[in-house]
Structure 1
């Protein structure tokens, strides 16, 4: 048999058991606030636990060592299954139809942040009970660092074969182990993740209550973008909040291995990291250009939204640049009302993404760096055809295997973007909105352009379009290869 079905069933069963426990947390929030909405979560937890227990029994009630094939299958199917069961509270509580519930839940787990709330037939965000708002944010937070990585950190069930899951889960061309043992690596990643989340929450408490602070810290560190307010971060009207969240969005979009090195005093290796330098340079350059596009000290330019004060223009520019490049998707303004220069810069940021090894989505900065280095290598070899010109990153030679992975990723990424755009256009979505929605969901960004801009939502889309976008979210979150490999002939050959 090509796949070890027992390993697949046992691991999925264990993950569903973990999800069942997570579903009880929003029920606790409902009880704390005296809301009668704990029942859908408890019932969902029981159903999830029952199915998880059945899969565990079918798996032989013992740990299995997943191989390469099982690693890819487990990760891809785990995210799908968790979204399918994670949608149950919305349905059982009568809040959303199942398609909308699945879309919202997949958007949460994949940290996309695209929402169907606020539509003609869906409730406003602020009208939702706190239990559902917390579940949206918790799904973000769990999906940000990865449920598989969390499982590796706290459960011994996966054994030494867990490295296959780690490689399939962690975003970026390569998985950067911090320690020889994958469980210890996962544990340290999560300690950093929890620490930064707690720190952000504490910094937000002077302006927000604990519930809003916790939810926004969850969404920020996961680079997700779900807010407890209809107007997102802009509704708080606080420059302090915007700067705090800008800082933590940039931290979340950076490689967590660099956070680890900083904590261990390895400042030089962090400062000299090529990807970090390019990442910060892109953010700084985009912030300056956007500021120039929206700052009008004397008078408003035409029908575009501008800011007479330089500090306001700079704050909004920095926030939106950080929000898009890290694929968080928070908003303080409707950027489609800004000048063409500002909108054009943001449009380009949709194609960048965060750093490898971060919670951010998108193409990733390191892939752009390697693509440009490879292009310049080709130019050199046109002049010196016999010369051996290796591609180097941080002083190390990049293998041909990694370069093939990077080039293939670009081809598949833009191919999927085209297919997604056509699939949405075939369902009556205008071309700009179809392209923007496909680009946003594939890059796990959230807001898009056109009918799915920062001031709109995805509720008006046809049901099939929502399933298409949910699939793009999953493919984008798992770095394309993890999902697409399951439909290749080579995967199913012995």
Structure 2
């Protein structure tokens, strides 16, 4: 493995963590809070390391998918640990494992919390929790691609983006990958700014609107009040609900609409299925909860909010849906597995994978009926390769394996199955709240440290599509990392891979 370029990228991440931590320092100074010192203690060393690293260029810039996956997994672990230190130093979260849990939940846009009283946090820490959603929503390495010339050229940058981007595939919207990343962030931040403006008009204060807007953009779900969004007026709730749905859509859709490819946008099967699932779920829950609501509009408002919140994996709440009828809760749990679109900031298995799985099952049935027929699997009118179908099947199997192992480990907590089951899926799909003891009015504080660590790994694995995190546990990776091998021996093979990519 190319150790020099791995070091270069990881220290770049550390440097940018120093820049990110300057923002809560600024918020603390505005509100005259002494916690700015604790954030500065962490920010300054990170900035110094980043500046030193920027002056030491790697000797060999080429790196491949293995390095890309390792850098991605390691970057998110480093982000989470560094991001937890200020919360621990301020003593607002005195137990370090809890601080890491809260920060991982923020960066992975899960929104699961261990806090009983959110309002007790300083303004700086409230903002930091929300801001981690904004950073984690699109991905820190995708962010780096937009602003710095990362080493290795287009092929190497593609390996980083592929490792971090959610969904079964990733590609270029425009000829240069850096421009693609910039375009995605332009859409991402533009939609976020629009939501903040609308929330201000609807009656939120600037601090409330900014925190809610950036938490929605990352589909994270950290609220600044224990009541989440339930304490705001109906107009604010509908704005948040609409934007949760919007951020769960594949961002390619917005690119096609903005740049005169509307036909391609509405040809996307995944987006159409995502909208259909949302509409059907809202309809079912509205009817199912009508008897326990204050009229049709109230039932529709709460159903629309919770469906978009759960399916987009945001995790905001306006009501205790754990008290809803069994059918409504069942719909929400199913949506936890399905999740949002690939190429969005949402979590879950992704709608496109279920669409592709359905097509694969249909093709298999046809092959039994007509053994000699030859049929191609099409997605958005384009043929799907066998490798894509195979990787889709592998992902499904791996996801369920990680899910069942996590449920088994948490079962030793000796608590009810509904809590354990929904705890794992809420973390693995980056949803946030579950049912029973981890419902929308409760939290994850009661778990032991071992269970919290399992859930931390689930959150990271879910956000990074499993394999970058699982790769960190493979002994071969660490053997390669600590074995001195000449990167030049791989140069010829790497040149072929980069040429193929171009």
Q: TM-score, normalised by structure 1?
A: 0.93
Q: How does 1:339-378 map to 2 (within 5 A)?
A: 339-378=325-364
Q: How does 1:244-393 map to 2 (within 5 A)?
A: 244-296=239-291, 306-393=292-379
Instruction: Verify the 8 A CA contact 1:65 1:162 in the aligned structure 2.
Output: no
Distance in structure 2 (CA, Å) of the matches to 1:29 and 1:486: 35
Instruction: Verify the 8 A CA contact 1:176 1:357 in the aligned structure 2.
Output: no
Distance in structure 2 (CA, Å) of the matches to 1:399 and 1:189: 25
Instruction: Verify the 8 A CA contact 2:162 2:169 in the aligned structure 1.
Output: yes
Instruction: Verify the 8 A CA contact 1:167 1:174 in the aligned structure 2.
Output: yes
Residue of structure 1 equivalent to 2:133: 140
Aligned: 1:180 with 2:175? yes
Q: How does 1:192-207 map to 2 (within 5 A)?
A: 192-206=187-201, 207=203
Shift of 1:327: 0.4
Aligned: 1:235 with 2:234? no
Q: Deviation digits for residues 66-85 of structure 1, max 9, x if unmatched? A: 32211111000000001011
Distance in structure 1 (CA, Å) of the matches to 2:139 and 2:79: 12
Aligned: 1:128 with 2:121? yes
Shift of 1:158: 3.0
Shift of 1:55: 6.3
Residue of structure 2 equivalent to 1:477: 463
Residue of structure 1 equivalent to 2:87: 90
Shift of 1:266: 1.7
Residue of structure 1 equivalent to 2:44: 46
- 2:205 aligned to 192, 204, 209, which one? 209
**Which one is further off, 423-432 or 397-406?**
423-432
**Which one is further off, 421-430 or 129-138?**
421-430
Distance in structure 2 (CA, Å) of the matches to 1:454 and 1:288: 21
Distance in structure 2 (CA, Å) of the matches to 1:130 and 1:90: 12
Instruction: Verify the 8 A CA contact 2:2 2:67 in the aligned structure 1.
Output: yes
Residue of structure 1 equivalent to 2:12: 14
Report the number of matched residues: 476
Shift of 1:51: 4.9
Shift of 1:490: 6.6
Q: How does 1:26-65 map to 2 (within 5 A)?
A: 26-52=24-50, 60=57, 64-65=61-62
Instruction: Verify the 8 A CA contact 1:126 1:230 in the aligned structure 2.
Output: yes
Aligned: 1:67 with 2:60? no
Instruction: Verify the 8 A CA contact 2:4 2:59 in the aligned structure 1.
Output: no
Q: Deviation digits for residues 158-187 of structure 1, max 9, x if unmatched? A: 341211101111111000311121111111
Aligned: 1:153 with 2:146? yes
Residue of structure 2 equivalent to 1:420: 406
Aligned: 1:112 with 2:110? yes
Shift of 1:386: 1.3
Instruction: Verify the 8 A CA contact 1:173 1:367 in the aligned structure 2.
Output: yes
**Aligned-pair RMSD on alpha carbons?**
1.6
Instruction: Verify the 8 A CA contact 2:4 2:58 in the aligned structure 1.
Output: no
- Structure 1 residues not aligned, in runs of 5+: 119-123, 297-305
